[in-house]
């Protein structure tokens, strides 16, 4: 009831001023980037009226899947306790989204406790506005990662005339920034903060190429090369641009993990040791799963932790249900152990009583009951 009254006060007040306003538009809060809020005014006022009890410390605004011209380019976040007096807590101008379905994360400049927040946003030309999602957080979502050392990106489309290359650019307007963003996100999943001894990826050469396959990483940290197939892009884009984005980000999480992860010691190499291979590919898919870029309904009982890729990756990601830092801790065992093994890693993370067989069995029981 309280919320409703506040909304009515807010609406009435703004209507008196001859301005238009929307309250809690579901397209912006439904955790679905394919539903889009459309505003038509010079200045769109969007009220988030959910009775906040702690100050908003950071927020994310997501571009939609529509053309970049519809993206917000300037906005102000304001707070209020009575729906009448609004105080600016954050202000941004000249903002550019580097891809479709992309967040811009803002750390609030002037945080204060308010019951209600309002976003005032407009496009560069003060025309139709489209936004995918808005997330207001009472945490600073950039905390610990302000000084991340971004890699240098050398992007090149080697097959610019292919349909795949063209649709890639419909999705991604600024490939360098798109890749850099995911580099930090991968590091956030593998490490605790930017002060950790992060495997130093300095230069990433990223190429779109007209050849079969999906994507692959070559070279060795600090200089790596990632290829992404324009044929695979075309296939993924058939369903929707969102589906292509989901796939492109997912593949990028996997390949970038190969740049940022440490390699197991004392057991040979990727080409001649299956445990080494399963560890490397398992962690890469665990990071992708943790980032949210797998359809988790494809998880099925069966297989073995030595199967690599998503069979191993889903298992490692599932360990976060026992310990939220399980992926970071599991990855850290790769650095710590002189002779790496799955069983040794599980014991290091969960204690000497734990074993890979026991943990896998428990995971299988979870899968059967899901």
Residues at the contact surface with Zn ion, assessed by CB under 5 A: 281, 284
Q: Least distance (Å) from Zn ion to the CB of residue 281?
A: 5
Phi, psi of 83 (to 5 degrees): 75, 5
What is the C-alpha separation between 179 and 226, in angstroms, rounded?
A: 11
Six-digit token pair at 167?
């649709």
What is the C-alpha separation between 90 and 84, in angstroms, rounded?
A: 18
Q: Least distance (Å) from Zn ion to the CB of residue 284?
A: 5
Instruction: Summarize the chain as % helix, strand, coil (round to 5).
Output: 40, 20, 40
Looking at beta carbons only, is 132 or 313 nearer to Zn ion?
Answer: 313
Looking at beta carbons only, is 190 or 284 nearer to Zn ion?
Answer: 284
What is the C-alpha separation between 34 and 245, in angstroms, rounded?
A: 11
Looking at beta carbons only, is 49 or 281 nearer to Zn ion?
Answer: 281
DSSP-derived pairing of the beta strands 215-220 and 223-229: antiparallel
**Angle formed at CA 324 by CA 340 and CA 109, multiple of 5 degrees:** 125
Q: Least distance (Å) from Zn ion to the CB of residue 258?
A: 6
Six-digit token pair at 59?
């927020």
8 A C-beta contact, residue 312 and residue 285: yes
8 A C-beta contact, residue 197 and residue 151: no
Quickly list H helices, the chain.
Answer: 2-16, 26-29, 163-171, 175-190, 230-237, 241-260, 274-291, 309-318, 326-336, 342-350, 356-369
Q: Least distance (Å) from Zn ion to the CB of residue 254?
A: 6
Looking at beta carbons only, is 237 or 251 nearer to Zn ion?
Answer: 251
Q: Compute the residue count for the chain.
A: 370
Q: Least distance (Å) from Zn ion to the CB of residue 177?
A: 23
Q: Least distance (Å) from Zn ion to the CB of residue 190?
A: 14
Looking at beta carbons only, is 133 or 281 nearer to Zn ion?
Answer: 281
Q: Least distance (Å) from Zn ion to the CB of residue 56?
A: 38
Looking at beta carbons only, is 213 or 358 nearer to Zn ion?
Answer: 213
Looking at beta carbons only, is 131 or 283 nearer to Zn ion?
Answer: 283
Examine residue 197 and say whether the peptide bond preceding it is cis (omega within 30 degrees of 0).
no
> Which residue shows structure tokens 């009982």?
301
């Amino acid at each position: 009831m309280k919320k409703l009254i506040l909304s009515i006060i807010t609406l009435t007040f703004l209507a008196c001023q001859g301005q238009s306003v929307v309250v809690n538009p579901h397209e912006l809060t439904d955790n679905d980037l394919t539903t889009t809020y459309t505003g038509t005014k010079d200045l769109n006022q969007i009220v988030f009226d959910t009775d906040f009890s702690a100050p908003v410390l950071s927020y994310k605004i997501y571009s939609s899947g529509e053309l970049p011209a519809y993206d917000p380019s300037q906005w102000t976040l304001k707070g209020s306790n009575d729906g009448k007096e609004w105080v600016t807590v954050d202000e941004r101008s000249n903002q550019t989204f580097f891809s479709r379905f992309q967040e811009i994360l803002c750390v609030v400049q002037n945080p204060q406790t308010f019951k209600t927040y309002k976003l005032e946003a407009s496009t560069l030309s003060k025309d139709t506005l489209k936004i995918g999602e808005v997330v207001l957080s009472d945490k600073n979502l950039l905390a610990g990662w302000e000084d991340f050392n971004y890699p240098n990106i050398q992007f090149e489309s080697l097959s610019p005339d292919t349909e795949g290359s063209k649709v890639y650019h419909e999705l991604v307007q600024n490939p360098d920034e798109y890749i850099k963003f995911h580099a930090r996100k991968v590091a956030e999943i593998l490490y605790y903060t930017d002060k950790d001894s992060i495997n130093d990826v300095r230069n990433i050469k990223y190429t779109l190429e007209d050849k079969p396959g999906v994507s692959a990483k070559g070279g060795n940290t600090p200089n790596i090369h990632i290829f992404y197939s324009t044929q695979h892009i075309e296939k993924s884009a058939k369903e929707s641009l969102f589906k292509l984005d989901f796939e492109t980000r997912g593949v990028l999480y996997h390949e970038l993990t190969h740049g940022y992860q440490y390699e197991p010691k004392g057991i040979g190499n990727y080409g001649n040791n299956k445990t080494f291979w399963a560890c490397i590919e398992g962690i890469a898919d665990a990071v992708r799963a943790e980032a949210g870029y797998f359809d988790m309904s494809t998880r099925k009982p069966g297989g073995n932790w030595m199967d690599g890729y998503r069979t191993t990756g889903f298992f490692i990601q599932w360990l976060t249900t026992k310990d939220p830092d399980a992926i970071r801790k599991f990855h850290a065992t790769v650095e710590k152990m002189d002779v790496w093994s799955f069983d040794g890693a599980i014991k290091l993370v969960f204690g000497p009583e734990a074993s890979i067989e026991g943990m896998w069995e428990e995971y299988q029981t979870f899968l059967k009951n899901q």
